[in-house]
Amino acid sequence: EPEVTQTPSHQVTQMGQEVILRCVPISNHLYFYWYRQILGQKVEFLVSFYNNEISEKSEIFDDQFSVERPDGSNFTLKIRSTKLEDSAMYFCASTPGTKIPDTQYFGPGTRLTVL
Amino acid sequence: RKEVEQDPGPFNVPEGATVAFNCTYSNSASQSFFWYRQDCRKEPKLLMSVYSSGNEDGRFTAQLNRASQYISLLIRDSKLSDSATYLCVVNGPDSSYKLIFGSGTRLLVRP
């Protein structure tokens, strides 16, 4: 069964450094998402992406965040200058975009630790 | 008021028990409703979508009451493998595709 993959599984970085989290969505899916989950808290929406542009973003997704689909398979989340409070699990998700409701398939996540 | 509200639990039940979880959501414009399951430090996985007419998938039954903005999940004949956190999820209002998650209800099934 096709699945969303994410790399790395765990990223440790120093405060102020840039990180790029990578995702490979399911191949025929059209909508892509990033969510985050701070330890012990709920899953929160960050951004959705369709047709090579951001379709929606949350208040969390400020200027330090950006997303990109650099090629036909990868979908990346960049955090420009990490803060301690960016430490969280980051989940990528994708959907076919063919019907409503549309199941969002989640990747296994990247655990980001900012020191 | 929280967008999606759930009792955090934990619900500690013996194998074979029936357990019910409830959830309320604040935005009456929400169109789609789901239960996801999340194991510790893993990604959310879709358990089932929830339809107005109610729906059943094996031991799991989900109900939606739009008038009360209330969603429920019933698990019959609990298994040890059902131990997890159950997330009530609604989509954003209007044409939004984003998912809004509740904080989850933790279920522990004991032998």
Over residues A70-87, the pLDDT tens digits come to: 887 899 999 999 999 999
Q: Which candidate in A9, A43, A57 is best for mutational testing of the B interface (most B CBs within 10 A)?
A: A43
Q: Token match 């990578």: residue?
A: A22
More confident residue, B95 or A42: A42
Burial (CB count within 10 angstroms: exposed 0-12, middle 13-18, buried 19+), residue A97: middle
For residue B5, give the chain A residue with the closest CA: A42
For the cut 90, the answer to whether the pLDDT of residue A33 exceeds it is: yes
Q: Which candidate in A29, A37, A42 is best for mutational testing of the B interface (most B CBs within 10 A)?
A: A42
Instruction: Give mean pLDDT, residues A36-53.
Output: 94
Contact A36, A46 (CB under 8 A): yes
**Which pLDDT score, from 0 to 100, does residue A99 have?**
67
Segment A20-29, tens digit of pLDDT: 999 999 998 9
* Cβ count within 10 A of residue A51: 9
Interchain contact, A43 vs B46, CB within 8 Å: no
Residues of chain B that touch chain A, judged by Cβ-Cβ distance less than 8 Å:
31-34, 38, 41-46, 49, 87, 91-92, 96-104
**Which pLDDT score, from 0 to 100, does residue B99 have?**
93
Residues 6+ away with beta carbon under 8 Å from A75: A22, A23, A24, A25, A32, A49, A67, A68, A69, A92, A94
* pLDDT more than 90, % of chain A: 82
**Which pLDDT score, from 0 to 100, does residue B41 have?**
87
Helix (H, G, I), strand (E, B) or coil at B63: strand
Count of A-B CB contacts under 8 Å: 57
CA atoms lying within 13 Å on the CB side of residue A46: 25
**In whole angstroms, what is the distance from residue A90 CA to residue A10 CA?**
10
Helix (H, G, I), strand (E, B) or coil at B10: coil
* Of the partner residues A104, A107, A108, the one whose CB lies closest to the CB of residue B99: A104
Interchain contact, B34 vs A42, CB within 8 Å: no
**Which pLDDT score, from 0 to 100, does residue A1 have?**
78
Average pLDDT, chain B: 93
Distance from the A18 Cα atom to the nearest Cα atom in chain B, whole angstroms: 24
Instruction: Give mean pLDDT, residues A96-113.
Output: 86
**Which pLDDT score, from 0 to 100, does residue A17 have?**
97
**Which pLDDT score, from 0 to 100, does residue B30 have?**
87
**Which pLDDT score, from 0 to 100, does residue A101 have?**
62
Interchain contact, B87 vs A89, CB within 8 Å: no
Low-confidence stretches of chain B (pLDDT beneath 50): none
Instruction: Give mean pLDDT, residues A43-61.
Output: 94
For the cut 80, the answer to whether the pLDDT of residue A100 exceeds it is: no
Distance from the B16 Cα atom to the nearest Cα atom in chain A, whole angstroms: 28
Average pLDDT, chain A: 93
Residues 6+ away with beta carbon under 8 Å from B3: B25, B26, B27, B90, B100
* Of the partner residues B43, B97, B104, the one whose CB lies closest to the CB of residue A91: B43
Interchain contact, A101 vs B31, CB within 8 Å: yes
